Amino acid sequence: MTHAVDMRVSIGALQLRNPVMTASGTFASGREYADFVDLARLGAVVTKGVSLTPWEGNASPRIAETPAGILNSIGLQNPGVEAFIERDLAWLSTIDVPVIVNVSGHSVAEYAAVVRRLEEDGRAHAYEINISCPNVDEGGMTFGTACAPAAEVVAACRAETDRTLIAKLSPNVTDVTEIARAVVDAGADAVSLINTLLGMSVDIDSFRPRLARVVGGLSGPAIKPVALRMVWQTAGAVDVPVIGMGGIMDASDAVEFMLAGASAVALGTANFVDPDATVRVVDGLGEFCRLRGIGRVASLTGALVAGDNASEVDA
């Protein structure tokens, strides 16, 4: 008799029915995907970044396709936390799925104020603190590329909530493990990575950049090897769960991230190509484990068999 695979994982105090989440900014608040996906089958829905006041986002063009990837400079366009609570969270909380709200701000005080307002509401299950968006001038990545400001934002949010706090890290740093240690010391229960890699594309016919903002964040399969490397480094550097993402398109990609040390994974760009990519990965992960007699998906985490020289590559 075949036993069902135990797909449950824990991220801090948060219990997930499986390790598959959505990556912030690619799934709105889930509503647009409800035609394609039974959201209750996901490990968690991570919402688009929410700020204290409405943000307009950047000028168009906001995306450019690149080899096996996309550059985007959306710029965290969102209606602000009040409208988010009223329109999005109210709807999402009717679905039986953990909701992780991605929190953005221009200042430490704004991040904390968003968490405070969401705590008053009480329907978010956890928070992901976005200190890694490359597409805004103030806030975002400016907080996430040095240890002190990264820690300051996380500490300020930590002071507002006892719920699971996840810090989303930028790959646009020299040593991601330093930032990871700083945010964990400041009270983060988990880290998620990677956000997009800062990039650029040029149209040689018009001599113009292909993004209005010139530079933007690269996502998709093109960045997977970089993401995987950073997840592996980070999982070896901190004692909290790591949520791995960056170019995951299918279950085998997800397995790679878990073997490298991720406790859970998130799909972003894949949703644009296959709106039901998340549930396919849920099914595929279960099938991967079942075929190999692996009883618990959580046992994949960090199960990478690395050679004797592995530590020399680290750092």
Partner 1 sequence: MSCSHAHTSTRAAVHSATVVSNERIAEGVGVLTMDAGNLATQIAPGQFVHLRVAEGIDPLLRRPFSVHRVSGSRIEVLYQVLGRGTRLMSEWEGGHATDLIGPLGCGWRIPNRVEHALLVAGGLGAAPLGMLAEELAAEGTAITVALGAPSADRLVARDLFEANARRVEVATDDGSDGHRGFVTAVTEALLASGDFDVAYVCGPEVMARIVAAQCASAGVSCQVSLERLMACGIGACLSCVVSTTSGRKRACYDGPVFDAEEVLWDASEIPPRH
Q: Using CB atoms within 10 A of its CB, is residue 39 exposed (0-12), middle (13-18) or buried (19+)?
A: buried
Contact range with partner 1 by CB under 8 A, out of 26-34, 102-110, 175-183, 258-266: 26-34
Q: Which is nearer to partner 1, 78 or 177 (CB)?
A: 78
* Nearest-approach distance from CB 183 to partner 1, in angstroms: 27
Site for partner 1 in 204-243 (CB under 8 A): 206, 208, 212, 220-221
Site string for partner 1, 66-105 (x = CB under 8 A): -xxxx-x-x--x----------------------------
Pairing type for strands 45-46 and 14-16 reads unpaired
119: which 2 tokens? 């705590």
Cis peptide before 67 (omega within 30 of 0): no
Select the residue interacting with partner 1 from 38, 63, 108, 152 (CB under 8 A): 63
* Nearest-approach distance from CB 50 to partner 1, in angstroms: 13
Q: Where are the alpha helices (DSSP H) in 40-175?
A: 81-83, 90-92, 108-121, 141-144, 147-158
* Nearest-approach distance from CB 271 to partner 1, in angstroms: 7
Give Cβ neighbours of residue 181 (< 8 Å, ≥ 6 apart). 147, 237, 238
Q: Which is nearer to partner 1, 26 or 195 (CB)?
A: 26
* Nearest-approach distance from CB 23 to partner 1, in angstroms: 11
- Reply yes or no on whether 289 is catalytic: no
* Nearest-approach distance from CB 216 to partner 1, in angstroms: 11
Residue 117 as a binder of partner 1 (CB under 8 A): the answer is no
> Do 154 and 186 form a contact (C-beta atoms < 8 A)?
yes
Q: Which is nearer to partner 1, 56 or 312 (CB)?
A: 56
Within 13 A of 39's CA, how many CA atoms are on the CB side? 23
> Do 66 and 199 form a contact (C-beta atoms < 8 A)?
yes
CB atoms within 10 A of CB 303: 13
Give Cβ neighbours of residue 23 (< 8 Å, ≥ 6 apart). 46, 245, 266, 267, 268, 269, 271
Active site residues: 133
Q: Which residues bind partner 1 (CB under 8 A)?
A: 25-28, 32-33, 35-36, 56-57, 59-65, 67-70, 72, 74, 77, 203, 206, 208, 212, 220-221, 249, 269, 271-276
